A and B are shown apart, each in its own frame.
Chain A
Amino acid sequence: MNLILNILSSLISQAAVLVALMSCIGLVAQKASFEKVMTGTLKTFLGFLIMGQGAGIITGMLEPLNEIMMEAFNIQGVIPVNEAISAIASENYGTQMALIAFFGLILNMVLARITKLKYIFLSGHHTIFMAALCAVMLSTFGIPDIMIIIIGTGIVGLLSIITPAISMPFMRKITGGDTIAMGHWATTCYVISGLIGSVVGGDPKTTSTEDMKFPKWVSFFQEPVLLMGIGVFVVSMVSCAFAGPQFVSQYAGDTNMAVWAFIQGFIFSAGVTVILTGVRMILAELVPAFKGISDKIVPDAIPALDCPSVFTFAPNAVLVGFFAYTIGQLIAFGLFIPLGMTVIVPTLLHSFFMGGTAAIFGNATGGRRGAFIGALAAGILNNFLCSWLYPVFGSLGFIGTTFADTDFSIIGLLLYYIGKMFGLS
């Protein structure tokens, strides 16, 4: 008997098993065949383990890079990547993360059913990231696990209906209807960009970004994993140059510094690719199950979708946003050192997703001027929020990376200050 209990409790305490159980429940609820339930459950289990392995790759290559950056500039440079920090968090906070995500999705359905905010948040990866943020931040409060899960669930559930709701005035302008809401937790900066557009922008009808012409080569920027590799390579290269070959050789051995930096950049990409493979396997089972169930419970709900769902409505705005947001990141970068703040490394990945979306919101209210200024402001604001939040995570042992999107930083900061107010953290 003891052996059985031991096996059971060992299994349940593994977050991977928990997540797999959620898939199992979702698949059974949808009356899937026995074979489908088995493969779906095992795939989810495998996906979670793969995600953890990917986290290992990232932490492995960030350690030497951080040492080199410290030696080179005496500062901690941070590369915010949601996938990386969440995968790392899943190592020690995995159980809470899994439970918060699961119950958060259920709460989303319940709230959509009983309130007027009928939105179903379908960006599962963001649900997982927000669960990771809540699990980590709430753990610092020293409250019992059950409280962590209840509060985390509340946060995820509420955000799942509130953020799509505040995006709707802009989404209606962008999509021309009520079919899609924004399900991406950088909604705050998108809304701010939209507001900036309406204040300082031009006439959206006559000065839209979509009437502009762009050359073909800009489409290279749509391979985000490659962009990350190049970005980290540039950061590594510059840091190595300043740290000096002697210092770098403790990590690179006989390998040429530049070649080593290039490899490091793409090891980062490799790690992210592995994490994505894992997350993809998890979501491939969970999201359809979630949607299937919520279709029955809240049939008239508006789906809140990942930000690329609006790219198709204003593809030129995405490019404008990419450049404007990058400029914003560079401005912020220049201000961190004089202000003594954590240095957030400009990350082109964000320029594409967050910058692109912010520009679409800005274009909807203020044409190309709204798109440009809105995205630029978003770049500055977002990196400042990341920089502000980083020390909290750094002190918990999460070195070198943090959450990227606006809403994560805001919730993280709110939780931190509320915790301090109550003397909890």
Chain B
Amino acid sequence: MKVVCVCAFGLGSSLILRMNVEEVLKKLGVKNVNVEVVDIGQARGTRPDLIVSSHSFCEKLADMGVPMIEVINYVDKNFLEEEIKQILKLQ
């Protein structure tokens, strides 16, 4: 499974998201997941199973048809955990 975290430059907020997503996935015992970091320009070039980003970037990428997690607080791991649990159950 491939998770992609998106932000404007791909090295600030998206990196924080990647760290937190990886922590949550580890806690939930999810294996075989690759979490990547990209900027908005490169996001379309990836083929993710899940996109994690803020509302404005999620909106831009909505037509990719990929499940998304819209983040408001970048350090709220409980929120991430709940969202990931929901999405994985659907898969």
Contacts and interface: CB of A to CB of B under 8 A. Distances in A.
A122 B20 CA distance: 13
B16 A306 contact: yes
Interface string A299-311: 0000101111101
10 contacts: A180-B74, A222-B8, A222-B40, A287-B15, A287-B19, A288-B18, A291-B19, A303-B16, A309-B74, A313-B72
Contacts, number: 82
Nearest to A313: B72
Contacts of B75: 179-180, 303, 305
Q: Mostly helix, strand, loop or mixed at chain A's interface?
A: helix
Interface in B10-69: 10-13, 15-16, 18-19, 37, 39-41, 54-57, 59-60
Nearest to B76: A179
B54 A308 contact: yes
A37 B76 CA distance: 29
Contact of A276 (B9, B18, B59, B74): B9
A308 B13 contact: yes
Contact of B40 (A180, A223, A279, A284): A223
Contacts of A224: 8-9
A135 interface: no
Contacts of A280: 9-11, 37
Interface in A308-328: 308-309, 311-313, 315
A315 B55 contact: yes
B7 interface: yes
Contacts of B73: 175, 179-180, 312
Closest 9 pairs between A and B when the two form their complex, measured CB to CB: A306-B12, A280-B11, A312-B72, A309-B74, A308-B13, A312-B54, A283-B11, A306-B13, A224-B8
B71 interface: yes
Interface string A236-251: 0000000000000000
A223 B7 CA distance: 10
A379 B9 CA distance: 21
A59 B82 CA distance: 47
A225 B41 contact: yes
Contacts of B55: 312, 315
A225 B10 CA distance: 11
Contact of B12 (A125, A219, A273, A315): A125
A305 B18 CA distance: 14
Contact of B39 (A225, A283, A305, A313): A225
Contacts of A306: 12-13, 16
Nearest to A179: B75
Interface string A271-289: 0010010011001100110
B73 to A, nearest CB: 6
B42 to A, nearest CB: 9
A346 interface: no
Given A223-B41, A305-B74, A309-B74, A124 B11 contact: yes
Contacts of B16: 122, 303, 305-306, 309
